[in-house]
């Protein structure tokens, strides 16, 4: 089946970025979220990002043409016309289960479901649906409009046909797909998150200040941003969730989340999105 209409569930940082990239690539997009505030924020963020990319000549079409391809909705049933689903809701198994089961009841069995989960087992999420053969991981990086990589993750039951179709879709969206196997954190977060977690341990133990740790990694290792600034960009709650998945998945103490990370999440310091993380944002 030719994919023309993409249904995206969750209009947070990742969902809105994915919607922007899909609409820029010419797909019709349904972007659903239960929160009107989140949908309003998505319109604003997508508009601002498109302005930047158009100004730099990286996007050639008019902003309004691209935006006209995105239909924002609070109503999940609007997604029943979708040719493919990208689930990008909060990184919690129970929330994802509820959404995936609702979609499974709504959409014909031939429609492929993908999930943008950053670490949860694809096989487990696929098993919540009646189409585990047409289900796989399609993991984008933040900020989605700027980062070229997507990870493709097959669950135990994902068919080769599904994999090929989703790989082609990722390429049409201008991304470079890399295949990862279904282990906790896949490739990206298996490597990135322990580095961020270790940077937080270094801060907690007083090895260096926030600025010192980030400067060492930027100027010493040529990372585009330091691990603490990156944690703020990703969201400290997301980082903690991923560390928990690694820790529970491997039962190896090397993945234990840093107590300072946990404390900051408890305090509501979630990074850029809450105005405060390791840095303050106005």
Query: Judged by CB, which is closer to ligand CAA: 82, or 117?
Result: 117
How far does Cα 99 stand from its chain's mean position? 16
CB nearer ligand CAA, residue 112 or residue 230: 230
By beta carbon distance, the residue nearest ligand CAA is 118
- Whole-Å CA distances, 51 to 20, 47, 57, 67, 273: 12, 6, 10, 11, 21
Query: Binding segment for ligand CAA among 48-56, 154-162, 209-217, 265-273 (CB under 6 A)?
Result: 48-56
Select 79 or 258, whichever has its Cβ closest to ligand CAA.
258
Per-residue contact flags (x/-) with ligand CAA for residues 167 to 206, judged by CB under 6 A: ---------------------xx--x--------------
Catalogue the active-site residues.
118, 139, 151, 189
Minimum distance of ligand CAA from residue 40's CB (angstroms) = 17
176-180: strand order across its sheet: 70-73, 28-32, 5-9, 84-87, 112-115, 135-140, 149-154, 176-180
How many CA within 13 A on the CB side of residue 47?
8
Return the number of the residue (131 or 140) whose C-beta is nearest ligand CAA. 140
Residues 6+ positions from 60 with CB-CB distance below 8 Å: 54
User: Quick check: 115 binds ligand CAA (CB under 6 A)?
Assistant: no
Scanning 121-129, 141-149, 165-173, 250-258 for contacts with ligand CAA by CB under 6 A, the matching segment is: 141-149
Per-residue tokens: 270: 């979630």
Q: What is the rounded CA–CA span in Å between residue 254 and residue 41?
A: 37
Q: Are 214 and 225 in contact (CB under 8 A)?
A: yes
Binding mask 64-103 for ligand CAA (x = CB under 6 A): ----------------------------------------
What token pair was written down for 181?
């196997």
CB of 151 to ligand CAA, least distance (A): 9
Question: Which C-beta is closer to ligand CAA: that of 187 or that of 260?
Answer: 187
**Which lies closer to ligand CAA via its Cβ, residue 146 or residue 164?**
146
Residue 63 beta carbon to ligand CAA: minimum distance, rounded to whole angstroms: 12
User: Comparing C-alpha atoms, which of 45, 189, 37 is closest to residue 120?
Assistant: 189
> Mask 217-256, x = binds ligand CAA (CB under 6 A)?
-------xx----x---x---x------------------
Using an 8 Å Cβ cutoff, are 6 and 27 in contact? yes
List 70, 141, 180, 213, residue binding ligand CAA (CB under 6 A): 141
What is the closest distance, in whole angstroms, from the C-beta atom of residue 186 to ligand CAA in the complex? 9
Residues 6+ apart with CB under 8 A from 154: 122, 136, 137, 163, 179, 181, 182
Contact between 88 and 117 under an 8 Å Cβ cutoff? The reply is no
Binding stretches for ligand CAA (CB under 6 A): 49, 52-53, 118, 141-143, 145-147, 188-189, 192, 224-225, 230, 234, 238
């Amino acid at each position: 089946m030719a994919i023309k209409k993409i249904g995206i569930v969750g209009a947070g940082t990742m969902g809105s970025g994915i919607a922007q990239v899909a609409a820029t690539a010419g797909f019709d997009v349904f972007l659903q979220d239960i929160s009107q505030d989140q949908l309003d924020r998505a319109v604003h963020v997508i508009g601002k990002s498109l302005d930047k990319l158009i100004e730099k000549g990286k996007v050639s079409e008019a902003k309004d043409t691209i935006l006209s391809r995105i239909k924002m909705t609070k109503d999940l049933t609007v997604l029943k016309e979708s040719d493919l689903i990208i689930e990008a809701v909060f990184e919690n198994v129970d929330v994802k289960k509820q959404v995936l089961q609702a979609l499974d009841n709504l959409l014909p069995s031939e429609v492929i479901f993908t999930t943008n989960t950053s670490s949860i087992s694809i096989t487990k999420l696929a098993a919540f649906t009646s189409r585990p053969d047409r289900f796989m991981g399609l993991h984008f990086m933040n900020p989605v409009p700027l980062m070229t990589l997507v990870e493709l993750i097959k669950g135990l039951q994902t068919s080769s046909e599904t994999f090929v179709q989703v790989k082609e879709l990722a390429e049409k969206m201008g991304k470079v797909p890399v295949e990862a196997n279904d282990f906790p954190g896949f490739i990206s977060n298996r490597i990135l998150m322990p580095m961020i977690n270790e940077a937080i341990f270094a801060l907690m133990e007083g090895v260096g200040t926030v600025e010192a740790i980030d400067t060492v990694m930027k100027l010493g290792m040529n990372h585009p941003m330091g691990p603490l600034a990156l944690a703020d960009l990703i969201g400290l709650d997301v980082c903690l969730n991923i560390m928990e998945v690694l820790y529970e998945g491997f039962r190896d103490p090397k993945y234990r989340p840093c107590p300072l990370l946990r404390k900051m999440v408890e305090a509501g310091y979630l990074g850029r999105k809450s105005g405060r993380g390791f840095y303050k944002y106005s």
